[in-house]
A = this chain, B = another copy of it.
C-alpha cells in the first residue's frame, strides 16, 4: 500500500447560511447612496448576517453536525478534520478543538488536523491538506472533513455592503463524485497589505480596496498561466483556453469582481491566442496588452472584455453566484459556496463529466487555481440531494431592516470582548439544528447549545 487511492476528492458538501438577511436595495436607501450602487455596482442582492448568538465555532459546529447527519455518517468514520477561517475568537485554541465535542459520544479522539489561516484562502489550504493526507502514508483509510467558516463584517462605510456570513463543510476521500485533478494546480503567493486584520480588538478588517482588486486579478493571471502550464506538462492541449472548463468558479468578495475575473481569463486567452478568436477585439489590442499587461486594468480594456465575455459568463460562471449574490462574502467558504451553487444549477442527470475550474484567493496574499471533474457514481445523486437541504434555507430566511442590521453589528462589536456574557440575539429566529453560543463565562470560556 504505497500508492494513492483512486478518485480522491469531495464526496459531500453542506452549506450553512445565516437565518437573517438584509436586502441590498434597502441598504442603498438607508445608506443614502445612488440607486444600484450595491445591487448593480457590486452585483449583490442580499446579505446574510449573524447576531451575537453565532461565532465561528458555532458555525463550524452547525456545518459539521449537519454534514455528518445528512450523510448518515458516524463521527468515528472521520480521521481528519481541519478548519479554515479568518474569524479568530482565540489566538491559541482552534475551532477544530471545539468541534471535538461532537466526537465525544463515539469515543473517536484520533482525528488529525487543526485550523489554518490566511484570509479567504484557509478553506482551500485545508482542502489541499486533506487531499494530500488521503494520498499519504498517514492515511488510515477514514474520511477527512474540511470546514470553511467566516463572519464577514465591516465598519460603517463603503465596504459594509460587501459583508456576509456562512460555512461550508466538505467530506473528502477516495471514490468521490467530485474528483480533484491530480497535479493540476497553479499557486501564487506574495506579501501584500491589501486586506488584513491587524486590530486584534475589532472584528473589522483594514481594506485597501483598489490594491485588493489589483492583487486579486494579478494572482488570477499568475495562477491561470501556472495551471495551464501544468496541463501542458501533463500532455494536455491547452489551446482552447477556457473551453476546457464547463464552469469556472471564483472566490467572490462581491459578484461584480467575479464578472471582471471571468473577463480577465478571457483576456488572458486573447493575449495568448487561446480559444476561438472570432468576435474578439482587433489584434492591435493584443499587441498593446503584450507590451503593457497592466493595461488590462484600463477601464476601456476591461469594459471590452466584460462585454465580449458576456455569453461565456452566463454559461460558465453566473450560475455559481447564487449564494454569493444572496448571502454575500463568506470569506473562506465563498468559493465553495460558488462550487455548490454551480452544482445546484445543473440538472443532476447532466452533471456527470463536467469539468469545473476553481480560483481561490486570500488577501495578504495566497491564491490557487485547480480543477474538479464530476464523476458519475452513486455518490453523485446523494451529494446533490443533501446539498439541496442547505440551499432550501435561502427561501426560509427572515428579512430584517438596515436599522436592525446596524443594531446587530453594533451589539457584536461592543460585546466582542465582554466576559461574562450572555448573547442577546433572538434564538427563535435561528434555523432548527443550529448550534449557538449560549454564554461566555468569567474565564472567557465559550459554551454552545443546539436549537431543536
Q: Which of B96, B136, B191 contacts A118 (CB 8 A)?
A: B96
Q: Verify B97–A86 contact, CB threshold 8 A.
A: no
Of listed A3, A101, A118, A445, residue having the most chain B CB within 10 A: A118
Query: Would you call A201 an interface residue if the criterion is a C-beta within 8 Å of the partner chain's C-beta atoms?
Result: yes
- A residues 68-109 near B (Cβ < 8 Å) are 86-94, 96-101, 104, 109
Q: Which residues of B contact A3 (CB under 8 A)?
A: 2-3
Q: Which residues of B contact A104 (CB under 8 A)?
A: 190-191
Q: Verify B110–A114 contact, CB threshold 8 A.
A: no
Q: Verify A132–B125 contact, CB threshold 8 A.
A: no
Q: Chain A: how many interface residues by the 8 Å CB criterion?
A: 77
Query: Would you call A187 an interface residue if the criterion is a C-beta within 8 Å of the partner chain's C-beta atoms?
Result: yes
Q: Which residues of B contact A2 (CB under 8 A)?
A: 3-4
Q: Verify B445–A92 contact, CB threshold 8 A.
A: no
Query: Would you call A226 an interface residue if the criterion is a C-beta within 8 Å of the partner chain's C-beta atoms?
Result: yes
Q: Which residues of B contact A365 (CB under 8 A)?
A: 97
Query: Would you call A115 an interface residue if the criterion is a C-beta within 8 Å of the partner chain's C-beta atoms?
Result: yes
Query: Would you call A138 an interface residue if the criterion is a C-beta within 8 Å of the partner chain's C-beta atoms?
Result: yes
Q: Verify A136–B125 contact, CB threshold 8 A.
A: no
Q: Verify B100–A190 contact, CB threshold 8 A.
A: yes
Query: Would you call A399 an interface residue if the criterion is a C-beta within 8 Å of the partner chain's C-beta atoms?
Result: no
Q: Verify B116–A116 contact, CB threshold 8 A.
A: yes
Q: Verify B129–A88 contact, CB threshold 8 A.
A: no
Q: Which residues of B contact A91 (CB under 8 A)?
A: 86-88, 117, 197, 200
Q: Verify B135–A137 contact, CB threshold 8 A.
A: yes
What is the total number of copies of this protein in its complex?
2
Q: Which residues of B contact A200 (CB under 8 A)?
A: 88-91, 200-201, 417
Query: Would you call A193 an interface residue if the criterion is a C-beta within 8 Å of the partner chain's C-beta atoms?
Result: yes
Residue interface mask A154-174, B partner, CB < 8 A = 1: 000000000000000000000
Q: Verify A364–B97 contact, CB threshold 8 A.
A: yes
Residue interface mask A344-369, B partner, CB < 8 A = 1: 00000000000000000011111010
Q: Which residues of B contact A96 (CB under 8 A)?
A: 118, 189, 366
Q: Which residues of B contact A279 (CB under 8 A)?
A: none
Q: Verify A196–B90 contact, CB threshold 8 A.
A: yes
Q: Verify A114–B444 contact, CB threshold 8 A.
A: no
Closest to A119 in B: B92
Q: Which of B92, B110, B187 contacts A363 (CB 8 A)?
A: B92
In the bound complex, CA of A364 to CA of B138 (Å): 23
Q: Could you tell me the distance in whole angstroms from the C-beta of A349 to the nearest C-beta in chain B?
A: 30
Closest to A419 in B: B198
Q: Which residues of B contact A190 (CB under 8 A)?
A: 97, 100, 104, 109
Q: Which of B131, B186, B188, B195 contacts A92 (CB 8 A)?
A: B195
In the bound complex, CA of A87 to CA of B92 (Å): 8
Closest to A192 in B: B97
4 smallest beta-carbon distances between A and B, as pairs:
A132-B136, A198-B444, A91-B197, A94-B118
Other A-B contacts than A97-B190, A128-B133, A201-B201, 14 sampled, CB-CB below 8 A, are: A88-B88, A92-B363, A93-B364, A97-B189, A97-B364, A109-B189, A114-B121, A114-B122, A117-B117, A131-B138, A137-B182, A198-B444, A198-B445, A198-B446
